[in-house]
Amino acid sequence: MEEPQEQLAPQVEQTPTETITYQRKKNENHNGRRLLDHLPAGIKRIPEEIPAGQSEQAKYIGEVTSERLGFNPDAFFIRQIIRKKYVEPTGEIKIGSLPEQAIDKCEADSSLLAHIITSKYVDHLPEYRQQKIFARQGVNIPPSTMNSWVQSIGRYITPIVEEIKKQILAQGYVQMDESTIQVMQKDKTHKGYMWVINSPSLGMSYFEYHPGRDQSKPKGMLGDFAGALQ
């Protein structure tokens, strides 16, 4: 990344100022993917708040900006979340808390995560295809990064999925079948099986992927089901 060029500012009349000095540990650089500077930014300012543990003697010294990669139906954008920061007379820095996010310390905004999940499971767009679409828009998301996001969101909705399965198997009659699907692994594909248990009375279906179709797979899914199976 190019170093910013120094610019000359016009001379203005100086007013008396107070200099505050303090020490803090410098954050270490990491090798994680940096957000893209060429994207437009949507700024969200956190309402004025007093950070926890801040004393009345703390002085306002600036703001802290956190960035997440967001998405809307038309284009990517950078959502900037700006928080005020203060310094105590002791030199301790106080910063307002960040809003909760779907994945802790994730560079992706909730809008982008929702788009990826919806595209994959509702619009049937595999992750590798989404990565190619994003690349055409100037955003390169590594396969391992996108996959980790999907898995993290999946853990959040697991209780909902298990409840759907529980309600289906509580019915007296269910339907069950499997379909072959091509599973992507690096640059090759292999055959897998998507099993489904359907409840006509509830209008609900439960899906579960397995690499094979032997009898242990449906038996494991049905558990102690004691109704009629078609």
- Burial of residue 51 (CB within 10 Å: 0-12, 13-18, 19+) is middle
Which range (7-11, 81-85, 143-147, 167-171) has the least confidence?
Answer: 7-11
- Domain positions in the chain are 170-230
pLDDT at 31: 42
Average confidence (pLDDT) over 164-180: 95
Please report the pLDDT score of residue 13 as a whole number. 55
| pLDDT-above-70 percentage for the chain | 84
Fold of 170-230: Pantoate--beta-alanine Ligase; Chain: A,domain 2 (3.30.1300)
Residue 205 CB neighbour total at 10 angstroms: 15
Instruction: Measure the CA–CA gap between 41 and 35, rounded to whole angstroms.
Output: 11
Chain Cα centroid distance, residue 6: 36
Binning pLDDT at 50, 70 and 90, where does residue 66 land? confident
Judge residue 12's burial from the number of C-beta atoms within 10 Å of its C-beta, 0-12 exposed, 13-18 middle, 19 or more buried: exposed
Is the Cβ–Cβ distance between 169 and 222 less than 8 Å?
Answer: yes
Amino acid at 69: L
Instruction: Please give the residue that has the higher pLDDT: either 128 or 24.
Output: 128
Confidence check: pLDDT of 23 > 90: no
- Which residue would you say has higher pLDDT here, 57 or 2? 57
